[in-house]
Structure 1
């Protein structure tokens, strides 16, 4: 096969370092942005905190030219820190209509994890070294909810192949029984049924506890499906006693490990609002929460250093040229980072202002029913940005209002029409559904068909499957599982 040479001309779009910086910084919430700025201050000595000086080091940097024969090119150094970054992730634009119904509580710190607590309790036992290793391995396999979902035979095989310990399953079971005596009650259970039984066994023995254990051991399937009439007949008790039994069981903790997991999760997800919307005399005022975002400037010493190189560039050695290129690269990187921060703030400000303008009534009154239908495209048109930019701004950002702190995704919802032909938000329908379910007779909970009829009476013509979808989005179980005695 003969070799051929040919010229080809084509257009190719490449992101500049500044554009890449802006993209990555835009999607960061305030907490991560603070850490990113701190890291940049450590990595780049040409970047300082404080107000920018009047002299612009860019004018100095632009005067510095190099021959193509230099070992290191300006572009190589300038782009080096950015071309190794991960590709920009894809964004699922249709996810921003999902609802966020629960408000987060104020996070608190967690002194130790679940595994650390169990290991600490293990040290108080009198197990030999080999049994202690087995116990540590068992604890390591307990998940964040407090369950051990691996069979003992699999753990026995792991110990043999990984630690060269030939431990039979019955001995592992004895060690597991010791761990199941640790706090919290129910730890190390294989499933929910065993978890509830472990907690009941810790209680003081009484007729009520015995009956509750009998329900979990023999009628657990009926209990989970809320077939209380079958349990009442099987136990031969009246409705009042059955209420006491059910009440005792539902007070047990189905996820004993969550006492640690929730605290740690909340600690890792401290909410600091990115925006603040305040109401004064019937008017709204929007501001960015820049309280912990420092002002940045280019280091003057590095600017003077580069000035010295430019004044003596005719007699510069190869090492001096490389040093000058390094200084210029750091100055460029600092200037790009400062510009990227400014562009990020402007993008966030314009995007949030568009959301406030579209949801003005809600920010003024806090009435959920006043929320208007809103999708990413609506905000993109108002703010003048691409939909992907609005997606990045909306991701993991929160706004503080006079009525609480909300994620930006809270304000995005689907559009639908009532029987009068008016455009309404799906959130309004969900609010009605929640109100109906909260006020229902728990002995005869409302089915999806009945909820559909109620909505039609109120002027919302919605299919039953849509009602079921909204109910599931609000994490509300079906009528059968909401039934109580």
Structure 2
């Protein structure tokens, strides 16, 4: 087939830079918004923070985001750009023509008191290991080998890397010659460090290391060691009958063994230094207060400073407007200043539009799930999908999805992820549509109230739900149970 050229017309949908900026800001949670604003402040000298009262920008923000960047300038453009510089809109008296925006909520000053959330500082796991390593009487060679071993411990305290690989790493990266026997000896010494169970190669070894330190606590500890050594797989699968037959022990002895094992930590280093982990804290994006039955919604903006256009940049434009001699260098500087001011205006407007979109979306969710926010009862939740909120707010489904992503709301019943309120519908025998969240809550209550000696199977759970009027299949019950992180009946069994 021969190649040919031709002219064709087709319609394309393109987003302006302002719209792209807004979409990115919508996805940023409150916890990271401060960092995003700091980046913009560093990149744009025309944008600054201030505390004085200023008028809000009077132009329609929506129109600002629908333009295609008509105020952009090219410093390498034609001479017409330099000759036709109009800065009247930038140098008029008053502050009305430059977008200033206060991020703080004057109605709830206690939420914007400038106080920072305290973070506890703890010694990290790696530092703790190195401190204990310094207490050993090791020569320089063995000390470096031990440091390499500690460096290979993961966040849970396990040594996942093979000893032969550690030997190769030392040889190729640090030119240190060692043997697997020497590394194994040092691993054994590090396994005596605190917390108990560190440097284990697997869960079985981790639990055994912890039990060995409790060997003087009675016969149940010795029997627990035997169980983990000989019947580890049977214990994890709760095949207690096989363990009892193999060791010839009674039910009381088995209970004592189980009590000893469940007290152990499967992640010995999991709680060390957790105060420095970001996931340890959730900063809510919204607050919902119940004021005598009337719900009040506020946006968390404590970590966002007041933004405005730099006064210095305004003064430079005014000086240029008053001057008579205007050479090319001055005009280039003015074009640069106008670019930075326009960029600052767009960013301030994007922050303002972000707040408006967040509040309207969360307000629609609050109205839709009013009964839940008043009572805190999950069974009162209505089925709700992204399309429902999009229709109430006249926003696109993708915009609602961006708002719901990584956002949290704080209520008097706890802090919830926004995605928690979205769920599909399920039809009951009476034809009524209920939220799948309601079904999961009832399923969770049934499992919680079951006898742990005889836990309910998926078939029995299905029957109980159907008796309550929920038309549901067994495979759906199994899916919901897995989503709730609940194991099968056999693994929920207790003596």
Interval containing the TM-score (normalised by the shorter chain): 0.7 to 0.9
Offset at residue 192 of structure 1 (A): 0.5
Bigger shift: residues 161-170 or 393-402: 161-170
Alignment match, 2:487: 477
Alignment match, 1:242: 254
Alpha-carbon distance in structure 2 between the residues aligned to 1:54 and 1:341: 16
SS at match of 1:35: helix
TM-score, length-scaled by structure 2 = 0.84
Alignment match, 1:225: 237
Alpha-carbon distance in structure 2 between the residues aligned to 1:65 and 1:358: 48
Offset at residue 7 of structure 1 (A): 5.3
Alpha-carbon distance in structure 2 between the residues aligned to 1:127 and 1:143: 23
Residues 278 and 286 in structure 1, CA contact (< 8 A), matched pair in contact too: yes
Alignment match, 1:253: 265
Alignment match, 1:363: 373
Alignment match, 1:293: 304
Correspondent of 2:139 among 98, 116, 128: 128
Alignment match, 1:69: 78
Deviations 1:154-181 (A, max 9, x none): 2112222222222111110001011111
TM-score, length-scaled by structure 1 = 0.86
Alpha-carbon distance in structure 1 between the residues aligned to 2:180 and 2:146: 13
SS at match of 2:364: helix
Residue ranges of structure 1 left out of the alignment (5+ in a row): 74-105
SS at match of 2:298: strand
Alignment match, 1:406: 416
Aligned CA distance change for structure 1 residues 241 and 3 (closer, same or farther; 3 Å): closer
SS at match of 2:466: helix
Correspondent of 1:326 among 333, 336, 341: 336
Alpha-carbon distance in structure 2 between the residues aligned to 1:356 and 1:63: 40
Alignment match, 1:36: 36
Alpha-carbon distance in structure 2 between the residues aligned to 1:71 and 1:137: 66
Aligned CA distance change for structure 1 residues 361 and 3 (closer, same or farther; 3 Å): closer
Aligned CA distance change for structure 1 residues 420 and 118 (closer, same or farther; 3 Å): same
Offset at residue 4 of structure 1 (A): 8.4
Correspondent of 1:397 among 387, 407, 416: 407
Alpha-carbon distance in structure 1 between the residues aligned to 2:352 and 2:57: 16
Aligned CA distance change for structure 1 residues 12 and 320 (closer, same or farther; 3 Å): farther
Matched, 1:353 2:384: no
SS at match of 1:258: coil
Alignment match, 1:282: 293
Alpha-carbon distance in structure 2 between the residues aligned to 1:468 and 1:448: 6
Residue ranges of structure 2 left out of the alignment (5+ in a row): 60-69, 83-116
Deviations 1:235-271 (A, max 9, x none): 2221111101110011100111211264443x44522
SS at match of 1:484: coil
Alpha-carbon distance in structure 1 between the residues aligned to 2:164 and 2:75: 69
Offset at residue 10 of structure 1 (A): 4.7
Alignment match, 2:49: 49
Alignment match, 1:165: 176
Correspondent of 1:212 among 200, 205, 224: 224
Alignment match, 1:103: none
Aligned CA distance change for structure 1 residues 55 and 349 (closer, same or farther; 3 Å): closer
Matched, 1:372 2:374: no
Alpha-carbon distance in structure 1 between the residues aligned to 2:204 and 2:306: 57
Alignment match, 2:160: 149
Aligned CA distance change for structure 1 residues 146 and 276 (closer, same or farther; 3 Å): same
Alignment match, 1:203: 214
Alpha-carbon distance in structure 2 between the residues aligned to 1:112 and 1:132: 21
Alignment match, 2:27: 27
Alignment match, 2:196: 185
SS at match of 1:200: helix
SS at match of 1:277: strand
Offset at residue 406 of structure 1 (A): 1.1
* Greater relative contact order, per chain length (Cα 8 Å cut-off, separation 6+): 1
Offset at residue 376 of structure 1 (A): 1.0
Offset at residue 193 of structure 1 (A): 0.4
Alpha-carbon distance in structure 1 between the residues aligned to 2:322 and 2:57: 17
Deviations 1:408-442 (A, max 9, x none): 11101121111111100111111111111111111
Offset at residue 119 of structure 1 (A): 1.4
Alpha-carbon distance in structure 2 between the residues aligned to 1:138 and 1:339: 53
Alignment match, 1:84: none
Offset at residue 72 of structure 1 (A): 9.7
Offset at residue 300 of structure 1 (A): 2.2
Correspondent of 2:455 among 414, 425, 445: 445
Alpha-carbon distance in structure 2 between the residues aligned to 1:467 and 1:456: 11
Aligned CA distance change for structure 1 residues 174 and 424 (closer, same or farther; 3 Å): same
Alpha-carbon distance in structure 1 between the residues aligned to 2:230 and 2:387: 55
Deviations 1:354-407 (A, max 9, x none): 101110111111111000111111111111111111111001111111212111
Residues 52 and 297 in structure 1, CA contact (< 8 A), matched pair in contact too: no
Alpha-carbon distance in structure 2 between the residues aligned to 1:165 and 1:424: 66
Residues 364 and 392 in structure 2, CA contact (< 8 A), matched pair in contact too: yes
